[in-house]
């Protein structure tokens, strides 16, 4: 029953709207008949081939940089007794919460040709490094923005490695980098690949960053520019959307295929986590230096944001001319609604995500429903659908639908924004829920059924409580990323009073006097989401400690 309900939900709010948009790609622009001629146009145009290459290049190099940021943070915090591990892990997730527009503006002010860093470099050494020029800028911003996906997944995988694996390698004479390269990293590979695939796909599909940096020659911006141009009937935008979706699904599938049968961490459990060791003092200095450097780099957009929100005028100078609170007063005067809307929308969306995510995880891993895997595939496919496509698809699908209790068409009802956010962030929550249910031994559920609990009661009293940590983690990821989403929202906001924070920032950033206020609103967004993340991190940690050794008992028989 639940399976059918979810399937209908996904079909109605993901598959159908998307098909409604992309079928144009298969229409002959002259006659309207079904055809593939648009695809041959795509591949014969050198502009599109170059765009495809650029997108591929940017996504690949971003994965490399994201890896460079994530691996030291993940390794140091899981491997060594490191004070501030929780803080580092929390700060490491903050880059995911980069509010639209202001993040890129801040990065330009810091790293642009005439940004703070280059102005200093020019003054001291007479050099200018093109951090933000063209594709470089996209790679820098994207890898900073999305590296937490690798950090989260890799840390989890490292925490799951059986201590005995590492110890037996040491026993056989392996140590240092060799130990890491030959034993630890291969064992953590599934987590790494999951994170890296996510980074690749997100960067490949991302529209906002290249657009804000005025980079047009990539697939997603090409699609967007063509879809949203005034009065143009070119189907190429939709063709590109189809190609984006198909290629992302392909990347997802490849990563799954590559990792098939290699998920060692769930097979081998016992020790629970890498052995943590103390650092010698010179090692400690080195590690902290690396960690601080990385954190400074990945948090630089937020530092820039902070400066922007407090600075009076910041133009062609290393730092703002002076500091003021005026932007905050300006922002607070008009933005209360944005903040409450965001908390409501992102909160509801994340709630839907974990409910649906838990249900899908349960159906896939605990039932024998025919073709149940497709629920997972469908929900995950949302990852590959650009936000604009969802936004337009919703307008096309739900604008003619009226509900008795809704004032006006469904497409302009605020709840549609919640559904769009839920669909867009469902894959994150789903992965967390799947990971959580895989950690729960089936026997714990069978024991409950054996003692007279029905399936429903068992889920409620045993499965869900044991999944709490994972569910909460899914909730946070969905909530944090939904609260700064713009690309689908911007199409769906029908009233200013219904607008979320990201939309408010967008509005501010359209006028010269709104830049500081927009940054201030961005700071508020980051602070709210960071606090929420930190608090729930603490809750998860406490839960873990409570169940730590019991978890091991359950694992022993696995």
Partner 1 sequence: MIGHLRNVLGALLVSAAAVFLAVPALAQTGKLIVVTSYPPDTTTAFKAAFEKKYPGVKVEMLKKKTSAGIKYLQETAGNNTSDMFWASAPDAFEVLKGDDLLVKYKVKVKGIPKKVGSFPINDPEGYYKGFAASGYGIMWNTRYLKAKKLPVPKEWADLKKPVYFGHVGMSAPSRSGTTHLTVETVLQGEGWQKGWAEWKAIAGNFKTVTERSFGVPDGVNSGQFGVGIVIDFFGLSSKASGFPVDFVYPTVTTLVPANIAIVKNAPNAKNAAAFIEFLLSKEGQELLLNPKIRRLPVNPATYAKAPSDFPNPFKDSSIGSKVKFDLKLSKNRYNVVNSLFDVMITYRIDELRAATKAIQDAEAAMAGKSNAAAAKLIAEARAAVDATPITAVQAGEGGFNKIFKKKRKKASVKVTGRQADIEGQWDDMVKANYAKAKELAEKAKSML
Partner 2 sequence: MEKAIQAAGVTIENLSLAFGTTEVLKGVNLEVEPGEFFAFLGPSGSGKSTLLRSIAGFGPTPKGRILIAGEDVAGLPPWSRDVGMVFQSYALWPHMSVAQNVAFGLEERRVARPEINERVADALALVGLSDFAERRPSQLSGGQQQRVALARTIVVRPKVLLLDEPLSNLDANLRTQMRREILALQRKLKLTTIFVTHDQEEANTMSKRMAVLDEGIIQQVGAPMELYDNPANTFVAGFLGTANIFEGKIEKKGKALAFRSRKGTRIPLGGGKAGVAHIVIRPQDMTLTAPGKKKGAKALDGVVTEMEFLGETIRYEIALSTGESLLVDVSHHQNQKHFMAGDKVGVDIDTKRIVTIAK
**Binding partner of residue 263 among partner 2, partner 1, none, CB under 5 to 8 Å per kind?**
none
Could you tell which of partner 2, partner 1, none binds residue 444, using a CB distance below 5 to 8 A set by kind?
partner 2
Binding site for partner 2 (CB under 8 A): 441, 443-444, 446-455, 457, 461-462, 465-466, 546-554, 556-557
Binding segment for partner 1 (CB under 8 A), chosen from 170-178, 294-302, 307-315, 458-466, is 307-315
CB 76 to partner 2: min, Å:
28
Contact between 556 and 162 (Cβ < 8 Å)? no
- Report the partner that residue 42 touches, choosing among partner 1, partner 2, none (CB closer than 5 to 8 A by kind): partner 1
Tell me if 124 contacts partner 1 by CB under 8 A: no
Q: How far is the CB of 161 from partner 2 (least distance, A)?
A: 21
Q: Should residue 29 be labelled a site residue for partner 1 when binding is judged by CB under 8 A?
A: yes
Which residues 497-516 are close enough to bind partner 1 by CB under 8 A? 497, 503, 506-515
Counting contacts by CB under 8 A, is residue 332 touching partner 1? no
User: Which residues lie closer than 8 Å to 59 by C-beta, 6 or more apart?
Assistant: 199, 200, 201, 203, 204
- Shortest Cβ 403–partner 2 spacing (Å): 38
- Residue 554 Cβ, how far from partner 2 at the closest point, in Å? 6
Does residue number 109 form part of the binding site for partner 1 (CB under 8 A)? yes
Residue 459, CA atoms < 13 Å, CB-side half-sphere: 12
Residue 221 CB-density burial (10 A; 0-12 exposed, 13-18 middle, 19+ buried): buried
Nearest CB to partner 2, comparing residues 334 and 547: 547
CB of 229 to partner 1, least distance (A): 5
| Separation CA 313–CA 370 (nearest Å) | 62
Minimum CB separation of residue 406 from partner 1 in Å reads 11
User: In 3D, which of 108, 109, 111, 69 has the Cα closest to residue 91?
Assistant: 69
| Binding status of residue 409 toward partner 1 by CB under 8 A | yes
Alpha-carbon span 475 to 512, nearest angstrom: 36
Does 217 sit near partner 1 (CB under 8 A)? yes
Residues recorded for the chain: 558
Closest separation between CB of residue 494 and partner 1, Å? 6
Secondary structure of residue 166 in the 3-state scheme: helix
Q: Which does 441 bind (CB under 5 to 8 A by kind): partner 2, partner 1, none?
A: partner 2
229 counts as binding partner 1 under rule CB under 8 A: yes
Q: If you write DSSP's letter for every residue of 307-336 in order, what string do you get?
A: HHHHBS--SSSSS-S-B-SHHHHHHHHHHH
Determine the Cα–Cα distance for residues 252 and 258; give it in Å rounded to an integer.
10
* Per-residue tokens: 384: 């590959």
The secondary structure of 416-474 as a DSSP string is HHHHHHHHHHHHHHHHHHHHHHHHS-HHHHHHHHHTT--HHHHIIIIIHHHHHHHHHHH
CA angle 59, 354, 205 (to 5 degrees): 15
Nearer to partner 1, 210 or 357 (CB): 210
| Residue carrying the six token digits 């307008």 | 395
**Using the rule CB under 8 A, is 25 a contact of partner 1?**
no
Q: Is 37 exposed, middle or buried (0-12, 13-18, 19+ CB in 10 A)?
A: middle
Q: Could you tell me which stretch among 64-72, 141-149, 263-271, 398-406 binds partner 1 (CB under 8 A)?
A: 398-406
- Give the C-alpha distances (Å, rounded to integers) separating 396 from 16, 52, 381, 412: 10, 28, 20, 11
Q: What mask, x for binding partner 1 by CB under 8 A, covers residues 127 to 166?
A: -------x--------------------------------
Q: How far is the CB of 390 from partner 1 (least distance, A)?
A: 13
Measured from the CB atom, the residue of 363 and 421 that comes closer to partner 2 is 363
Among partner 2, partner 1, none, what binds residue 233 when CB lies within 5 to 8 Å by partner kind?
partner 1
Of 33-41, 279-287, 295-303, 432-440, the segment contacting partner 1 by CB under 8 A is 33-41
């Amino acid at each position: 029953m639940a399976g059918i309900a979810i399937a209908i939900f996904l079909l109605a709010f993901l598959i159908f709207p998307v098909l409604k948009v992309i079928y144009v790609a298969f229409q002959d622009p002259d006659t309207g008949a079904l055809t593939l001629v648009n695809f041959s146009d795509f591949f014969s145009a050198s502009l599109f081939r170059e765009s495809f290459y650029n997108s591929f290049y940017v996504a690949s190099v971003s994965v490399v940089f994201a890896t460079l940021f994530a691996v030291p943070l993940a390794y140091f915090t899981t491997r060594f007794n490191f004070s501030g591990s929780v803080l580092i892990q929390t700060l490491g997730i903050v880059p995911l919460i980069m509010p639209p527009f202001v993040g890129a503006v801040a990065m330009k002010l810091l790293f642009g040709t005439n940004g703070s860093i280059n102005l200093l470099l020019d003054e001291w050494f007479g050099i200018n490094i093109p951090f933000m020029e063209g594709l470089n800028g996209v790679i820098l911003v994207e890898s900073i923005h999305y590296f937490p996906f690798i950090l989260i997944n890799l840390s989890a995988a490292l925490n799951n490695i059986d201590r005995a694996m590492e110890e037996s390698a040491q026993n056989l004479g392996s140590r240092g980098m060799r130990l890491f390269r030959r034993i630890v990293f291969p064992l953590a590979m599934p987590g790494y690949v999951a994170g890296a695939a996510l980074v690749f796909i997100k960067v490949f599909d991302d529209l906002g960053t290249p657009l804000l940096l005025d980079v047009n020659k990539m697939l997603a911006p090409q699609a967007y520019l063509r879809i949203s141009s005034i009065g143009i009937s070119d189907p190429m935008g939709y063709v590109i959307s189809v190609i984006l979706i198909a290629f992302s699904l392909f990347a997802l599938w490849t990563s799954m295929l590559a990792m098939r049968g290699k998920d060692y961490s769930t097979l081998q459990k016992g020790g629970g986590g890498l052995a943590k060791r103390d650092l010698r003092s010179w090692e400690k200095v080195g590690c902290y230096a690396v960690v601080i450097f990385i954190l400074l780099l990945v948090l630089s957009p937020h530092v820039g944001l902070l400066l922007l929100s407090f600075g009076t005028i910041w133009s062609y100078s290393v730092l703002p001319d002076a500091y003021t609170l005026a932007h905050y007063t300006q922002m607070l005067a008009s933005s209360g609604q944005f903040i409450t809307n965001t908390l409501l929308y992102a909160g509801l969306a994340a709630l839907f995500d974990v409910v649906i995510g838990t249900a899908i995880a349960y159906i896939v891993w605990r039932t024998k429903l025919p073709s149940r895997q497709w629920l997972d595939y469908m929900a995950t496919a949302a990852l590959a659908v650009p936000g604009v496509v969802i936004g337009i698809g919703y307008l096309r699908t739900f604008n003619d639908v009226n509900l008795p209790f809704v004032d006006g068409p469904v497409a302009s009802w605020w709840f549609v924004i919640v559904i769009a956010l839920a669909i867009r962030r469902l894959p994150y929550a789903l992965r967390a829920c799947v990971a959580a249910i895989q950690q729960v031994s089936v026997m714990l559920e069978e024991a409950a059924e054996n003692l007279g609990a029905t399936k429903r009661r068992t889920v409620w009293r045993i499965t869900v409580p044991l999944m709490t940590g994972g569910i909460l983690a899914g909730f946070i990821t969905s909530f944090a990323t939904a609260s700064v989403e713009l690309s689908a929202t911007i199409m769906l906001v029908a009233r200013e009073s219904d607008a979320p924070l990201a939309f408010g920032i967008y509005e501010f950033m359209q006028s010269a006097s709104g830049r500081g206020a927009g940054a201030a609103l961005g700071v508020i967004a980051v602070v709210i989401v960071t606090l929420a993340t930190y608090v729930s991190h603490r809750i998860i940690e406490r839960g873990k400690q409570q169940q730590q050794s019991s978890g091991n008992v359950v694992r022993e028989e696995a």
